[in-house]
Every structure is written in C-alpha cells, then in structure tokens.
Amino acid sequence: TGRAVVKGVGHYLPARVVPNSEFEKTLDTSDEWIRSRSGIERRHFSAEGETTSDLATNAAKAALDDAGMSADQIDAIILATSTADLTFPSAATMVQARLGMTGGFAFDVQAVCAGFVYALSNANALIVSGQARRVLVIGAETFSRIMDWTDRSTCVLFGDGAGAVVLEAEEGTGTPEDRGILAVDLNSDGRYRDLLYVDGGVSTQTTGYLRMQGNQVFRHAVEKLAQTAENALEKAGLSSSDVDWIVPHQANIRIIQGTAKKMGLPMEKVVITVQDHGNTSAASIPLALSVGKQRGQIKKGDLVVTEAIGGGLAWGAVVLRW
Ligand code: ACO
C-alpha cells in the first residue's frame, strides 16, 4: 500500500506585524479583550499588492528546500485558499508558473478554514490512487482583504500567511506504524451557511466582507472538532492515547483548549501559534506544522492529528505519522 509521506514543510509570513494595541486606536476594543477572548496577541498583514499567490510561492519554496526537492520533481500542486488573487485562473497555477514548473497540474481547494485538511485529503487520494507521486500542498490566505475594519467582532481575529508541505508516495505495510497519512475524516453541513460567510462574490456581482456569528460558530467548534479527530483516529485503528501532537486550526485558544480537553489530551501535546498569527484560515495548520517542527516539537515518527472547522460549515481531520 502506498502512503503519502511528508518530506518537507515550510512557511512564509508577510513582514508587517500588527499588535492588538493597533486596533485600540480605531475601535472600541482592547488588547486585554482580544487576548482573553481569543488568545491572539499579534498577526501579520501582507503589504499592498502582496497577494495570496506571492505568500504561497514563498511557502512552497521553503517546503521544497526542506524536502531537498526541485519544483520540476512535483507532479501536482493543491492550494487551499478562499482569497485567491483572481476569480480565475487558480492561484495554484500562478504558483506553478512562479516555481518554474512546466509539467504536472495545479488547482485550488476552497473549504475556508478547513481548506488545508481538505487539500491534504485530496493529495492523499491522488497519491494512493497512483495519479501523482509527489504533491505540494499549500494553505495560503490574505484575509486582511475581506475584513470589515469597522466590525470589532471579526477584524481583530484574522491574519495573513502561508504554509506548505511536500508529500511523496512511499511503500507502507498498511499498519498504523507506517509514516504518512493514515486516515482522513471530512464533513460539511451547508445548513449553517449564515454563521460564517462573505457577503459578496462574483455570481452576485458584489464584493463583500467576512461576516461571522462568532459565539454560534464557537458552539459547534469544540464538539465537531473532537468528534472528527476521534473518527479519523478510529479509522486509522488508533485512539487519543496514541497521539503525540494535535495541530489544530488556530482560530481561538479557548476552542483549542476545549477540543484537547474533550479528547482527554494535555495542552503539552498541542502545537499553538494563534498568539502570533491570529486566524489565518487555510494557512493556519501548515503554518503550525512548520513552526512546530522548527521549535523541535514535531519529530520524525510522531503521530500528528490536524483538525479544522470553518465556513460552510466545513470540518475535518487528518491523522498522519510524521
Ligand atoms: N473588543 C471588545 N468587545 C468585543 C469585541 C472586541 N474586539 N468583539 C466583540 N465584543 C463584544 C461583543 O459585542 C459582546 O458584547 P455584548 O455582550 O455587549 O453584546 C461581547 O464582546 C461578547 O461577544 P461574544 O461574541 O459573545 O464573545 P465570545 O466570547 O463568543 O468571543 C469570538 C468572540 C472570539 C469571536 C469567539 O466566539 C470565537 O472565537 N468564535 C469562533 C470563531 C471561529 O472559530 N471561526 C471559525 C473559523 S474562521 C473561518 O472559517 C473563516
């Protein structure tokens, strides 16, 4: 059985760092409120003209470097984003060109904050079915472009950034001891559309901003995240006690803590970057994987569970051995 094994990881954050205090100048908010309600202390915002495909290209180069691979060895690029540069072509094909790739194929995946989990699932399916041997999976977002800067309940929570992994097919034994992606669990429920959406888009001939009923999303998050993580572990023939690292979508420290508690895992087993990045949507998990590896937290052979929920609602989890 073929397994999709992580061979490299990298990330890119735009240069501009914005501390919570900056919002105190224009909004009725405080560093104390933002920290205590979300765990966020600062976030990065991309410069004017710096687009999602720019961030994605830099993260992709870092991941390729880490893997010791060149772009022409890659068969496919899957880019998870809800903030592509243009309506089309896909941001993934822009990255493909920027990397100097003239072969293979590239496409975007849109599942908002769950986008990277969905993209990993797609990459795994391509590898397991033999359609690709090496897949570059990127999460990249510029959510600063869809913020309503007068809405304190959303604009303080999000940031820009990108992360990427390189997956390569490797023969496995078909047991949970194999390296690589061991199981995936994906879910969505479109009835929850109104909890989290952008109130504009191409087909409605409008542009829009992110709208969120934060406390309603919160209510769904902990339960659905713990459930999807446990489903994925069960599919892999594993349980919570086998987990070395939870690498959650970084939306809110209280959701992260609640999910770990529900799964019976201590916070020492959770990679946390929300304080430095804010919610970077589809970029938050690959950013956390990359930072977690740099910090010396995630090591070869570790059992890692990634989980995310976002607009749709869409949610899911991936269990992999690093
Ligand atoms: N500063 C000060 N006060 C604020 C701010 C702010 N920035 N924002 C809201 N408030 C006020 C509200 O107006 C409200 O005041 P009221 O009680 O007088 O009405 C009060 O703070 C409490 O608001 P709540 O929304 O109930 O606060 P809560 O504790 O739920 O925290 C938060 C809000 C941080 C948004 C939280 O609900 C959350 O993290 N939700 C989930 C977000 C998420 O995970 N999204 C999914 C991923 S994103 C994606 O898919 C794109």
Q: CATH code at 23? A: 3.40.47.10
Q: Are residues 25 and 99 in the same domain?
A: yes
For residues 301, 307, 308, 312, the Cα torsion angle rounded to the nearest 10 degrees is 120
Q: 264 CA distance to ligand 1 centroid (A)?
A: 26
Q: Are residues 156 and 11 in the same domain?
A: yes
Q: What is the pLDDT of residues 62-79, one digit of tens each?
A: 999 999 999 999 999 999
Catalytic, 122? Answer: no
Which residue range(s) make up the domain with 90? Answer: 2-171
Of 171, 188, 206, which closes a domain?
A: 171
| Residue 41, pLDDT above cutoff 90 | yes
Counted domains in the chain: 2
Q: Are residues 187 and 165 in the same domain?
A: no
Closest listed residue to residue 14, CA positions, set 157, 201, 173, 143: 143
Cβ(117)–Cβ(317) below 8 Å: yes
Q: Are residues 136 and 47 in the same domain?
A: yes
Q: Are residues 154 and 197 in the same domain?
A: no
Given this model, what pLDDT does residue 82 score?
98
Q: What is the pLDDT of residues 110-162, one digit of tens each?
A: 999 999 999 999 999 999 999 999 999 999 999 999 999 999 999 999 999 99
Q: 200 CA distance to ligand 1 centroid (A)?
A: 22
Closest-lying ligand 1 atom to the alpha carbon of residue 113: 50
Q: Are residues 74 and 164 in the same domain?
A: yes
pTM above 0.80, yes or no: yes
Q: Are residues 162 and 197 in the same domain?
A: no
Catalytic, 11? Answer: no
Q: Are residues 139 and 271 in the same domain?
A: no
Of 171, 198, 215, which closes a domain?
A: 171
Q: Are residues 184 and 143 in the same domain?
A: no
User: What distance in Å separates the CA atoms of residue 318 and residue 279, rounded to the nearest whole number?
Assistant: 19
Secondary structure (3-state) at 42:
strand
Q: Are residues 199 and 298 in the same domain?
A: yes
Q: Are residues 51 and 142 in the same domain?
A: yes
Closest-lying ligand 1 atom to the alpha carbon of residue 252: 39
| Residue 249, pLDDT above cutoff 70 | yes
Given this model, what pLDDT does residue 2 score?
87
Q: What is the pLDDT of residues 188-223, one digit of tens each?
A: 999 999 999 999 999 999 999 999 999 999 999 999
Both structure tokens of 111: 């599942």
Of 171, 205, 229, which closes a domain?
A: 171
Q: Are residues 101 and 192 in the same domain?
A: no
Catalytic, 113? Answer: yes
Q: Taken in order 220, 117, 290, 92, is the CA torsion positive or negative? A: negative
| Residue 1, pLDDT above cutoff 80 | no
Give the residue with greater pLDDT, 174 vs 60. 60
User: What distance in Å separates the CA atoms of residue 114 and residue 116, rounded to the nearest whole number?
Assistant: 6
